[in-house]
Copies of this chain bind each other. A is one copy, B any other.
């Protein structure tokens, strides 16, 4: 028969810390502490299996009642107290405790066991009538709320009224008589609401409370929390029933919370606070100011010494920082709870390194202790935690860091501000490639639309620039150059601060703290490098970003998007000229103007990455992205015609509209882009290849070591690749001959449509490397347009758990991952030493990096600021794998 109830107490427990799934975190730790000799109030844990049983079948297992009765008897014996004992009554707490902590989400009942008779016993035991009545009224209110489901407001009203009438501010100013009156009134409410009196049999109280806690697993709050934190619904909670101890029994009693090390800084020093003559909830209630834990050494030296020793025992036992709750009842120290202490990223790093130095844990364990996502924050400035500010709006934390400046509402204004030496913050409803030059000079970007992978978010992350995206709480008017947030109108020139790490938007300039790449952090990354197999490169489109990436440890550029280079103010007009060209000679003329600029781009990139590979992707977006929109042009034309104005512009518009119409596409994502451009307009690929090789030759002559890797985008058939490779190889020979220098180079391809993955074996016959473009591969594998899906249905999909994650943030291993594995396998059958990488957004997302390691990729490539994250995740892949 399944055992459902596990007792602990008197130095012995039926459970242990290994039984978290069954006993929940709290229950397992209580058992574990009991077993290692820590003084824990006795009690028992009802397992999570009872919870899942209940939620599956709508009733409890038959054997539960008997087991519970036995456990209660055992507890009574252990404590030398009894339920309903008028002399020495047993009071207990009933608490939830799942395997994964869900703080505050489920219900708790304290002081259970009280009734008019046992109350007298409590008074006798404690000699504190006021405390006993206070406990009683609290119990009635809590039980009524949690178990009887009577609106808590009704009880609060009586309390408030009483205090108001007496002119009191705090509950603890109430006299014993006041409390007696309140208890009487509370009971009346119960009678009125439930048409029966408050249950005064402690066993009944216990049964009802346990039932309520199990049911609270299914309350809205808990469901929502699990949804947000991706906790499975079938995990279930355990219920812990534990003897109450009281920290409010006078001067020899107290209660507190402490961390074995400082959770903010990581400093190895007991950190926490306590209150004398108080209950746990008083510490957080803010009525009295708790004292720092060090002061306990003066006030209760014996207890402090005892506690201090226990914290050491617990940290050594769990080999991690502990967050410990204690109560001192009449000089006896009880430990109520210990758990892994939460910590800041900075503390996590310091603690991990210190613990290695203290020989408590291995380097591998230290690496495991740090969540890769967490350290992202260490690389960006943060809002000063001491700053007293209130956000005026909150959007998505799209790209970390703090940005502050005068608000501007178009890219050109950002450029003007920059030229005049003013810092600006670019506010847009959403951004488009036309805004790139403005984004590049702004201190940060704030948009009211778009998700975590909107244009603004992706580009900002690439640039390492703070971005708050999809901030729907603000109303942007680009025409009026203003936005409204929290009822305030913010106009062009007003100073605003955004925090891309939290998504908060603040009015005015907010103080920040600069990130420190501490020695410990550098050490952790060094350890990670020794453990990882995967290479880590960066996605960067300009020398500045490339340099940054190198500082962060990038071992090359995995993706340099050449199109971003054409959106610059000086290039866009020439690009337009090229697109508008009527014939080949005209187009070549425009391309010849772009050639020296593009050559300079590549010189900059290859110089910054001297000695490391730079993967240069040829032009990818459809050409119409470089032209104004069909709709705007048509509205302008219609307007001019109606007014019979400016015939010259009308003619110009007519031509432009014709060109735009001929280029316009129904589904640009699946349209004339990628290598399809280079195949229809080989002269574009020729120009780009020439620029790559001329740049390489120039650097080589300077004595540098440029390593260019040309990457052909959007290949779906090997013949497309062959077509483009031929152009590249021919240009290379031509340039090398002219320059009398040779530079080693590779030509490879993006794998970003399913067919490329499916025919990878053939493509590998010609391609020297693969790089998975998982953004587009995700779009085509799911048939999801990123631009449309996130706003229209993807959010709901994740909310309703139709998909576990947004596949544009976390790589979909089941579908997209399957294609990746297939392609790697087939590619390596053809070419065993084929180099394979990934350059989608996923290259910097830890779980995706771990997948890439398992799929045997050679490297991941991500935005510069994610490089340390990827380094650590790559180490995790090896350690945890």
Q: Which residues of A contact B (CB under 8 A)?
A: 630-631, 634-635, 638-639, 642-643, 665-672, 674, 676, 679-680, 714, 716-717, 719-720, 723, 752-755, 758-759, 776, 779-785, 787-789, 792-793, 796-797, 800-803, 812, 814-816, 818-819
Contacts and interface: CB of A to CB of B under 8 A. Distances in A.
B802 A679 contact: yes
Ranked 6 nearest A-B pairs via Cβ: A753-B783, A670-B785, A667-B785, A755-B815, A671-B788, A666-B787
A815 B754 contact: yes
A815 B716 contact: yes
Contacts of A780: 670, 754, 780-781, 783
Contacts of A801: 719
Contacts of A638: 635, 638-639
Contacts of A802: 679, 717, 719-720, 723
A814 B719 CA distance: 13
A278 to B, nearest CB: 50
Contacts of A671: 785, 788-789, 792
Given A638-B638, A671-B785, A802-B723, A793 B753 contact: no
Nearest to A676: B793
Given A679-B802, A753-B782, A780-B780, A672 B759 contact: no
Contacts of A779: 670
Contact of A630 (B631, B679, B723, B819): B631
Contact of A793 (B634, B672, B789, B816): B672
B755 A782 contact: yes
B635 A758 contact: no
Contacts of A669: 666-667, 670, 783, 785
Contacts of A670: 667, 669-670, 779-780, 783-785, 788-789
Contacts of A753: 781-783
Given A676-B792, A754-B815, A755-B781, 10 more contacts: A638-B639, A666-B668, A667-B667, A669-B785, A671-B789, A679-B802, A754-B754, A754-B781, A759-B814, A759-B815
B716 A787 contact: no
Contacts of A714: 783
A851 to B, nearest CB: 15
A759 B666 CA distance: 28
A716 B754 CA distance: 14
Given A755-B781, A788-B667, A788-B672, A793 B631 contact: no
Nearest to A631: B631
Contacts of A680: 792-793, 796
A716 B676 contact: no
A680 B795 CA distance: 11
A670 to B, nearest CB: 4
A815 to B, nearest CB: 4
